[in-house]
Structure 1
Amino acid sequence: MQRISDKRKPMTPLDLVESSIEEGLADPTIDYLDDLPDDVEMSLFDHLEELRQRIFYSLIALVVGAVGCFLFVKPLVKLLEAPARGIKFLQLAPGEFFFVSLKVAGYSGLLVAIPVILYQIIQFILPGLTRRERRLILPVVAGSTLLFLAGLVFAYLLLIPAAVNFFMNYGEDVVEQLWSIDRYFEFVLLLLLSTGLAFQVPVIQILLGLLGIVSAKQMLSGWRYVLLGSAVLGAVLTPSTDPITQTLLAGAVVGLYFGGIAMVALLGNSQGWGRLIGAISSPFTKVNKTTVTDAIAQAPSDTVTEPATIEVLEETPTVDEENTQNGVSDLADLSQIEVENQTSQVEDTDIENQTQVDEPEKETTQLEATETTTENQLTSEASLPPPPVEEQAVPEMLPQRFLSKVTGALFTLLDLWCEDRGEVAIKRAINIKRTGGDWTEVPDLCYVSYERLPAGWMEDQACPTAPELVIDMISPKQTFGELVDKATEYLEAGVLRVWLVDCQARSITVFYSDARPRTYRGEMELTDPLFEGLELIPELLFRQARLPNAG
């Protein structure tokens, strides 16, 4: 089979959502953009103009703050002189105290204007953030502000008095303590600012941890370099050369660093953050993620909600399509026999002593038994045939039963099609490469051709390359935005097609690397030139999987 590749840039998540709404594939009354950036089309000059305005407003706030602080500069000067008790300050040049007053007013005005400056920065970057990322802004800004203020207090109460006492005691019996007011305030203001910045270390650590770039274990493993770096940081940030000030600042940085490690470990190990990272599949998360299907299977049944349904137009089959359906129906009958045999073997066969076999149904059982995720295995309860569904209400069934039936039917159909073409696997781990870090994903089904697989690849190992096709089952608790994020991650990693199967809506949504997504349901025929010879009709698939009708 000739390999088909496409190097064109994948569509963004927002493009996928907008195109789905335009084509009638999604309900415009539902807010699908909770996890997507609120993109606004702006030219480069529009961005530059907005940036100019934000900078202008920030400068106005800085000037107003500096002028306001200059009106009360003498109380501020006395406050900063307080740590140097017993020292007489001299004005060694005309206008020296005036320029010191301007400097104090400028630094104080910057501190007062920080809320406005932060607001302008947030407003500039906000349109490019998802709503989930926006929810991180408030805790990050609040934590950063509190730590900066804590750094100022730490410097004022500990660092400045320690440095002043060291210099006073060092030359007390030799020289008279007469200090230049300009040099003293330069020392104090720089020490306050540098300490406030150094106290931002935990915020940076928590952000790196939540984004999955660095784990708590990796942070802890580099503690030796942190000790060395904190010593260098203390020497660079402190304007004085005394060892006491440098040691105090370095010790504070080390303490904050280990405190940040504890926070990252706490957030990473808690169930709430663990489920969040595993469920939303953030594009920046560098972890072996638990799929949302597994999380739903473990959740209580009363927490399952109805999924968002993608509305599409039904197509009336033509004569040619009816002939095609007959061919697919034959495959469906074969698939049903395979699934029933597979179910029987799962119940009666000792998995641990199972030997290698060639039949498709036995291969399916072996693949399911060897995977670490056991939620999708068929149980004895799932093997019972469902009751007739004609003119009956839909029985209450666990989502896992739906997923298992359709997964088995799709596997059998793809396995019959891809003979001598490639490998089809259930719950096969695949290594996904991306900018910012690689990660391992476990889709419900995947197909990879022999052309993509390396020669030395072993079947019991994770797939080392992006497959041509990834199939995921939509569970009732997932949102459309989460699914679009996940599909886009696959496409950006080199996957050519992503199928999202909705058992409740009895539909299959196909995401392409070079075109808008399309949803197939009913008697619509799903064909793709990438998979030559593969024909699928969603309704026949769900019927042969014995899923009950929705009404």
Structure 2
Amino acid sequence: MSTEDSFISHLVELRDRLIRALLAVGVVFIVLFLYPGASTIYDLLAQPMLATLPPGTRMIATGVITPFMVPVKVTMLAAFVVALPVVLYQAWAFVAPGLYMHEKKLALPLIVSSTLLFIMGMSFCYFFVFKTVFHFIATFAPQSITPAPDIEAYLNFVMTMFLAFGITFEVPIAVILLVKTGVVTVEKLAAARGYVVVGAFVIAAVVTPPDVVSQFMLAVPLCVLFELGLLVSRFIKKKETEERAIVEKN
């Protein structure tokens, strides 16, 4: 097979993998749209905010088609999260033939763990961060003000926070990869702990709302997860050293 034919065959396979991933997301979207429905899914997403609003207060929609489009966007987000294992499997199936055996053994656990960590980050944000941050903001609202958040602004806020916490929970994977590939040693990362702490609070100040609570609740998990990554990396390196010693001994 010529180089051109090989390149075209890879493009065809990439197209097929993308179509399958999109079909998976589309099928889940249709199912969620029919049951429990886009409105119900948005109500579930809005629950942390609604719980802190005064009794009888609702969120508002300032756009003409916003009451329709925002729940649809939320349903698409939910469909992507539910179909994420299929999407990642298609990505894995596309790159797997070009990997060595030891790379395959590393790649699959990393894909699974990174998926779980991202979902854990979103869950931590929804169940703990939103409740705490919205309650903190509500306690500072003047009595002369009746909060009525716009649903589109709320969706943008939620998606930003989900992305921030999802990526934050990927820190252990990043640390393990850096050590595993030899880019940096565990000792050097541990020595840079102070810079990591400062960087964590700087990142939190940039990506979260301008309140101390949300910044603190992003920066602290980031630091803790960095330490977790160091702990796992030490364990992996120790295991590799022991295995190498056994092989050399035999």
Superposition TM-score, scaled by structure 1 size: 0.41
Q: Give the letter aligned to residue 18 of structure 2.
A: I
Match for 1:188 among 158, 162, 187? 158
Map of 1:83 onto structure 2: 48
Contact 1:206–1:260 (CA under 8 A) maintained in structure 2: yes
Q: Quick one: structure 1 residues 237 and 64, their matched pair in 2 at CA, closer, same or farther if it must change by over 3 Å?
A: farther
Map of 1:57 onto structure 2: 20
Map of 1:380 onto structure 2: none
Match for 1:73 among 34, 38, 42? 38
CA distance in 2, matches of 1:66, 1:232: 36
The number of aligned residues is: 240
Contact 1:70–1:101 (CA under 8 A) maintained in structure 2: no
Q: Quick one: structure 1 residues 55 and 119, their matched pair in 2 at CA, closer, same or farther if it must change by over 3 Å?
A: same
Match for 1:269 among 232, 238, 245? 238
Contact 1:166–1:242 (CA under 8 A) maintained in structure 2: no
Contact 2:178–2:184 (CA under 8 A) maintained in structure 1: yes
Q: Give the letter aligned to residue 45 of structure 2.
A: L
Match for 1:107 among 70, 77, 81? 77
Q: Give the letter aligned to residue 256 of structure 1.
A: L
CA distance in 2, matches of 1:258, 1:59: 36
Per the alignment, in what secondary structure is the counterpart of residue 149 of structure 2? strand
Cα shift at 1:221: 1.0
Q: Would you say 1:46 and 2:13 are equivalent positions?
A: no
Contact 2:85–2:115 (CA under 8 A) maintained in structure 1: no
Give the superposed CA RMSD. 2.0
Q: Give the letter aligned to residue 243 of structure 1.
A: V
Deviations 1:39-78 (A, max 9, x none): xx86222222222222222222222222222222222222
Map of 1:134 onto structure 2: 104
Per the alignment, in what secondary structure is the counterpart of residue 177 of structure 1? coil
Deviations 1:144-191 (A, max 9, x none): 122112111210122211221232222232311111122112212321
Map of 1:143 onto structure 2: 113
Map of 2:215 onto structure 1: 246
Map of 1:544 onto structure 2: none
- Higher normalized contact order (CA 8 Å, seq sep 6+, divided by chain length): 2
Q: Give the letter aligned to residue 108 of structure 1.
A: A
Contact 1:195–1:237 (CA under 8 A) maintained in structure 2: no
Percent of paired sites with the same residue: 30
Matches within 5 A, 1:428-507: none
Q: Quick one: structure 1 residues 91 and 51, their matched pair in 2 at CA, closer, same or farther if it must change by over 3 Å?
A: same
Map of 2:249 onto structure 1: 295
Match for 1:152 among 119, 122, 129? 122
CA distance in 2, matches of 1:167, 1:194: 20
Contact 2:41–2:71 (CA under 8 A) maintained in structure 1: no
Q: Which is richer in helix?
A: 2
Cα shift at 1:199: 0.5
Map of 1:212 onto structure 2: 182
Q: Give the letter aligned to residue 241 of structure 2.
A: G
Map of 1:161 onto structure 2: 131
CA distance in 1, matches of 2:99, 2:130: 40
Q: Give the letter aligned to residue 171 of structure 2.
A: V
Matches within 5 A, 1:399-438: none
Q: Give the letter aligned to residue 214 of structure 1.
A: V
Deviations 1:83-110 (A, max 9, x none): 1214221122322111111110111111
Cα shift at 1:258: 0.8
Contact 2:121–2:165 (CA under 8 A) maintained in structure 1: yes
Per the alignment, in what secondary structure is the counterpart of residue 59 of structure 2? strand
Cα shift at 1:291: 9.8
Contact 2:52–2:135 (CA under 8 A) maintained in structure 1: no
CA distance in 1, matches of 2:108, 2:201: 32
CA distance in 1, matches of 2:164, 2:23: 24
Q: Quick one: structure 1 residues 68 and 241, their matched pair in 2 at CA, closer, same or farther if it must change by over 3 Å?
A: farther
Matches within 5 A, 1:282-321: 292=247, 294-296=248-250
Cα shift at 1:255: 0.5
CA distance in 2, matches of 1:172, 1:82: 22
CA distance in 1, matches of 2:27, 2:159: 20
Unaligned runs of at least 5 residues, structure 1: 1-40, 279-289, 297-551
CA distance in 2, matches of 1:137, 1:158: 31
Match for 1:260 among 209, 216, 229? 229
CA distance in 1, matches of 2:246, 2:234: 21
Superposition TM-score, scaled by structure 2 size: 0.88
Per the alignment, in what secondary structure is the counterpart of residue 89 of structure 1? coil
Matches within 5 A, 1:116-127: 116-127=86-97
CA distance in 2, matches of 1:70, 1:216: 47
Per the alignment, in what secondary structure is the counterpart of residue 71 of structure 2? helix
Contact 1:91–1:180 (CA under 8 A) maintained in structure 2: yes
Unaligned runs of at least 5 residues, structure 2: none
Cα shift at 1:208: 2.2
